[in-house]
Amino acid sequence: MELVRLSIDNPEFDFPITLECMRRSELTVEKLLSEIERVLQSYQQFVVDEASRIDIVHVQNPHEKGHPKKPYLDIARL
């Protein structure tokens, strides 16, 4: 199972626009636009420019079929 989390931040926002962690297959344009529209009710404008930051976190389960059964990060080595 692959999980994603998306966050859009801009200095004009009081807080970032964030989509909760979800399966990659559940992330749709409609979900993203719905969350942006919810925030835009307060700000009325949204411009993606050099001041904007978009963070995407993608996590793939290492224990899924086709992947070796080992952790991504060996805590003991740290």
Q: What is the DSSP string of 21-52?
A: EEEGGG--HHHHHHHHHHHHHHHS----STT-
Q: Which pTM value belongs to this model?
A: 0.66
Does residue 78 surpass a pLDDT of 50?
A: no
Q: Which of 71, 54, 53 is nearest to 5 (CA)?
A: 54
Q: What is the pLDDT of residue 37?
A: 84
Q: What is the pLDDT of residue 13?
A: 82
Q: Which of 67, 72, 60 is nearest to 1 (CA)?
A: 60
Residue with the bigger pLDDT between 27 and 66: it is: 27
Q: Cα–Cα distance between 17 and 9 in angstroms, integer?
A: 6
Tens digit of each residue's pLDDT (9 = 90 or more) over 3-62: 999 999 988 888 889 999 999 889 998 998 898 888 777 666 777 888 889 899 988 876
